[in-house]
Amino acid sequence: MSFLSALRRRPTASLNAWYRAGPCRSLTSSSSVSSDKSASKPSTPSAPVSSCGEGTVLEGLNWLKGQAPVTALADDQYPPWLWKLLEPKVIPDDGPGGKGEKIRLRKENRKRIRDTQFMKTQ
């Protein structure tokens, strides 16, 4: 980690408050919430599990005035590619001059440019 990356700006306070509060709240009663916690453990490790249960109100997703609250669906009703979005991208290591090296060089160049631009503002 470079010295400059430690000085970069942190996320805004409103975004941090959103993360602390959580983007969803449940419509169900408190007795069913406790049963959801025991049922949230997947029987197979490859089964996708969302952070919000079915019927959970998702705050901030209804943009139109007077629109009904947006609720979460069951995990099997979402497309399978949705559960792969958070997995890290696998970059092939195909030797010198390959795609992996080009991506690595591009990343290093962008970081170098970012660092020099940051130092020019100081």
Write the pLDDT tens digit of every residue in 15-43: 554 455 555 555 554 444 444 444 555 44
Is residue 1 helix, strand or coil?
coil
Going from N- to C-terminal start, the domains of the chain cover 12-31+47-84, 88-122
Write the pLDDT tens digit of every residue in 48-84: 678 888 999 988 888 888 889 999 999 899 999 988 8
Is residue 70 helix, strand or coil?
coil
Say what the pTM is: 0.42
Which of the pair, 2 or 89, is modelled with greater confidence?
89
DSSP H helices, the chain, are 3-7, 13-21, 30-39, 99-120
